Structure 1
């Protein structure tokens, strides 16, 4: 029986709150504080540096570029590439604007070389930072690409790391989506997915993804039709046919916040709707998933 869950009305809670910030008492020396403020206005972030930032990737709080930590120390974010915006960009790019999306696309290209695979096929959150208004007025024209490992598919809660993400998607990638357990599953919606070893009971498996062209997110019937492309993605992964395969699909993508930041990918998961299964479904064809 083929089934697809195209709705995810309960899945995403976009948290608008911040984190509490402590204020240090200071050392009484104002000169070094002024130097830090001036430095912050012109400093270019460095690739290969790590930071401790917000515990949730979707919050996208800008790191303190002048306070990096070694990537072998505990951190939640890594800057893996820093580039320069084209000279044709005359206005500070804002989230959701063409020039910001172009920077996101550039980061996406760089991430594949850095990771050894596709960031959108893993528990990773890709964020692009551009200069603040103060930095832009001081002449800064950089863009910085940042990655965070996350706990699950939907919720962008960061996983603290003590190693770089370089090469993280080569070989048997621990951060790849792989097999998953669906959380909060009902007839019409679901909340999240957690990655599990494929040898353990699970009900879904990442099958692939497709990128939505253009800059406008599909809505209504167009959204439903767009998500149904997952039938073809899953069929190719199984090596079967859309009409004959014994698995459904669950899509994930087009979150409004992520879309504005440049993520136009829809992830497709092969879904065993009747029972938990063991082992990978890749190459299953039109056969029934094993128990």
Structure 2
């Protein structure tokens, strides 16, 4: 009896020590995870804080409503650049979103063949191509053909950057839809394209919308391709067949200028771009948030 009690006490002691070691390891790993998270977030918040400190002074009503002032003069704003950025994003979205979604549908539903593998390979290549290369290509094939820089060329360049991101997001979201849902629709005699359009797409729409918004957020701050395509100007744009101002390009030009007023507005423009990206990301989260 005593031996049995001793064995139980020894067993209890070992289990207690094992539990303590597990708790210690768990606390240690949680601490390391917190430290790693702080190390990862520190540069991000440092950059955000620095941009806010440097740019908040240049944010005023004139910044959002007036055209750029002549070199060396005080005042003025970047209203034409802000509007031009939204125009370029609009052109890119009209071209890139439908094309990207349709390509993603093809790869997910019909891409199990040689042609599908080629399209998937090209999509992966486009994802890794530097944006400045996209700008040079569009300059060669579109800007030179049209005889000058245009808003159309800038929108096409941004659309090319958007397409692979939207394609991959659409493809992955559609693959998450169970095959049983497709089979149920086909078993009812519904054509495959109707199953895709009315059953599969609505099921994965939240994820697709998230990918689209994130793709838009990505191209919102692109500068390099716009230098070769939309170029920019200091006035309001009246036609899409002419160079158009954009916030990233104006921030770049102002940042390298010798005028302190322009440098201050460059920081304000950078802060505005960050706010646009944050708003788009928050919108993506709100759209995809599941209702309780």
TM-score by length of 1: 0.23
Higher strand share: 1
Pair member with larger Rg: 2
TM-score by length of 2: 0.23
Higher helix share: 2
Structure number with greater CO (CA < 8 Å, separation at least 6) is: 2
